[in-house]
Amino acid sequence: MSHVPGNSSARPFPPHQPVRSPYGTPDHPLTPKRRRARGLGMLGGILLSSLAIAVTAIVGEHLTAPVPDIAIHSGIGFAVHGSEELALVPYDRNGSGGLIASMRHDMFEVRLAAVELSTGDTKWDVALADGRPWPVAVLAAGDHFAYVSTDNGLMILDLADGGTVVEPGEVPGLERSRALPGAAYGFDPALNAVVALDVDGGVHVLPLDALEAEPADAATTATWSGVLFAEGSAPDIGGMTSTEALLADGESTVRLEPTADGALGGSLVYDGPDGERALGAKVFYGAGIVLDQTSPFASFEVGIDVDALIAEFLEDPGAASEDLWTGFGNSAVGAGTGHVLVEHQPEPAVDAYALHVVDLGTGRVTASTATGSRLGRALVSPGGYTAVIAAPEGSFWLADLVLVAPGGSIERVEIGRP
């Protein structure tokens, strides 16, 4: 046993005391465990709290933000792109609809949406202008391009995506009508061309899918002189109904007849070559048969003898009024595909409205939908779909497009709202 020299009282070293190390021994190495971070600290906590508050505020503002006001223009048009028939729907969008929407939209916009008639899906939706309200009407569409009248001139859009091909007032050949408003443009189905007036009264034609206009011949000029105007917007065509309307053959009619003397409700009666018959048993209150307004008023002349009309008003005001409106067309919309549309109040004297589709063969109601006010313009596509401008239930804004398929079913499209 050994001792420390010079110190007889020192204790001896233990003979087999192991030496411990966090790294082990050469034969048995150890890797130290990593320490877990104990948090982000005060600064991290402040940043996380601020981020959570911001996210909550943005989401809450988005969820509670008012829905923008949508107002559909009456100047709807139709197009076929590929195999799909489209409704081209111009509309005003007022209000951004919240912080997130304001990143994508201006506060006030005029837009154009392309809606697939067979599904009700929106193919594209593009802005045409921002700022003040801007009357817009779709004049016609070819295989590739749509022609749109605005108060800043004629513009041309690509049917594939709604992209602007020619800016308003920049159509080659229409330099003299560069800034003329919507009343200066129309569509001539006989020529399959857009017609345009210039500031000197000259008429020009722009065949569908062409990008350059040319002067019209004498016959076309004579046809459209007095129909196009260098001042004024495109006509705003409101909804029209009647208690009697012509059917597709031009002779048969359908009318609303009171169920009894003094009754508030009425039912439909069909009058055709085989005589009269009741068209279903449904009773309608405050009702009218929706009329076809496919042809805009600017595309034809309405001949009215003013002196004769005044004399008729003095003799029979009711008949004179009916004759006056007959000049604007009195055909039932949808009759060409075997049904009529009836606008009515669900109950007598209530401030609510509804639209019913009635089969002309059976009198059966094939579809219906509630509306917030009287209907807007109703028009029929080349493929037999009926498009009606309507207000959502509980609203007076004409913001919905009701699509009635040739078979009588209804698809309701909320324009401008995801």
pLDDT digit string (tens) for 148-181? 999 889 999 999 999 999 999 899 999 877 778 8
Name the one residue in this structure whose structure tokens are 């009529």: 340
Question: What CATH number does domain 69-224 carry, 2.40.10.480, 3.40.50.620, 3.40.50.740, 2.60.40.420?
Answer: 2.40.10.480
Q: Are 352 and 401 in contact (CB under 8 A)?
A: no
Q: Are 86 and 114 in contact (CB under 8 A)?
A: yes
Q: Give the pLDDT score at 152.
A: 86
Nearest in space to 88 (alpha carbons), one of 337, 373, 415: 415
| Pairs from 414-418 (Cβ < 8 Å, separation ≥ 24) | 415/70, 415/72, 415/89, 415/91, 415/113, 415/115, 416/68, 416/70, 416/91, 416/93, 416/111, 416/113, 416/125, 417/67, 417/68, 417/70
Cα separation, 389 vs 369, in Å, equals 12
Identify the three-state secondary structure at position 251: coil
Asked whether this chain's domains 69-224 and 241-292+329-414 adopt the same fold, the reply is no
Q: Tell me the domain boundaries of the chain.
A: 69-224, 241-292+329-414
Residue 141 β-bridge partners: 146
Nearest in space to 299 (alpha carbons), one of 151, 177, 140, 142: 140
Q: Give the pLDDT score at 2.
A: 47
Q: Give the pLDDT score at 61.
A: 45
Neighbour tally for 108: CB within 10 Å: 18
Euclidean distance between the first and final Cα of the chain, in Å?
Answer: 94
Segments of the chain scoring below 50 in pLDDT: 1-4, 8, 57, 59-65, 98-103, 105, 297-304, 320-327
Nearest in space to 159 (alpha carbons), one of 80, 89, 83, 75: 80
Q: Give the CA dihedral 305, 311, 317, 321, nearest 10 degrees.
A: 0
pLDDT, tens only, 248-268: 999 999 999 999 998 999 999
Cα separation, 119 vs 116, in Å, equals 6
Q: What is the mean pLDDT of the chain?
A: 83
Main-chain dihedrals φ then ψ at residue 391, nearest 5 degrees:
-100, 140
Q: Which two tokens mark 353?
A: 């409205």
Q: Give the pLDDT score at 133.
A: 61
Q: Give the pLDDT score at 376.
A: 97
Cα separation, 372 vs 374, in Å, equals 7
Among positive and negative, which fits the CA dihedral 142, 145, 150, 154? negative
Chain centre to alpha carbon of residue 50: 40
Main-chain dihedrals φ then ψ at residue 207, nearest 5 degrees:
-55, 150
Q: Give the pLDDT score at 369.
A: 97
Q: Give the pLDDT score at 23.
A: 57
Helix (H) or strand (E) holding 64: helix 41-64
Chain centre to alpha carbon of residue 113: 6
Cα separation, 368 vs 199, in Å, equals 47
Question: Beta strands 275-278 and 284-290: pairing type?
Answer: unpaired
Q: Give the pLDDT score at 38.
A: 55
Q: Give the pLDDT score at 297.
A: 45
CATH of the domain spanning 241-292+329-414: 2.130.10.150
- Interacting residues of 134 by C-beta distance below 8 A, sequence separation 6+: 110, 128, 150, 151, 152
Cα separation, 98 vs 228, in Å, equals 41
Identify the three-state secondary structure at position 136: strand
Cα separation, 353 vs 361, in Å, equals 25
Identify the three-state secondary structure at position 267: strand
Neighbour tally for 363: CB within 10 Å: 16
